[in-house]
Structure 1
């Protein structure tokens, strides 16, 4: 099992990508396995975390440059992740990414 398969939580995970499409854990892992995302640059600007009950909510802003499925992109993106502790440690149960215009 890959690091991503462990870190990305249960099969019920949902992730909203910058196009607005909601994808599943398997969709996300398939994208990584197929190497559709290629990063040439990644610069984290800020990250915040806060507890919400028994979960942790993280927000991150980062500048990214690269290619997705052959199409070039370059911009600043905002990411949100909801983490839940399980027997395997902290795992992502939901996420969202948006390009900041």
Structure 2
């Protein structure tokens, strides 16, 4: 069973891995069966989500999570956060506020994101 401390640690590790494009840590935190819907409504699997980190096309300079809420499930948890994000994607600067919903599940005794959704906030 995942505890609040487990989820908080996993969320912190995910944030740091996203900021540093640490593909090995991201690989460990994301389920092999990941389904991720980005802010534009595009559906990505794990490899497609990791690709811009691997290639260097995505570089985050700021990723601040606020307004975190958690709901526990029998085998995991749902986490909703507001995120202020800035960086570069394929050489173009961007910044914005987003809301992320992530479903964490215990996989081989470690928390992994099995699905996630991102919404751009106006």
CA distance, structure 2, for counterparts of residue 25 and residue 66 of structure 1: 21
4+ long deviations beyond 3 Å: none
1:7 and 2:50 equivalent?
no
- 8 Å contact 2:100–2:117 — kept in the other structure? yes
**2:90 is the alignment partner of 1:61:** no
Report the TM-score, using the length of structure 2 for normalisation: 0.75
User: Are the equivalent residues in 1 in contact too, given 2:60–2:85 (CA < 8 A)?
Assistant: yes
Which structure has greater strand proportion?
A: 1
Matched, 1:52 2:84: no
User: Are positions 1:86 and 2:110 aligned together?
Assistant: no
CA-based RMSD of the aligned residues comes to 1.5
1:32 corresponds to: 53
Alpha-carbon contact 2:53-2:59 (below 8 Å) kept: no
User: What's the counterpart of residue 23 of structure 1?
Assistant: 44
Query: What is the DSSP-based 3-state SS (H/G/I as helix, E as strand, rest coil) of the residue aligned with 2:31?
Result: coil
Structure 2 Cα separation of the partners of residues 88 and 36 of structure 1:
32
Q: Unpaired runs of 5+ in structure 1?
A: none
- Between Structure 1 and Structure 2, which shows a larger proportion of helix residues? 2
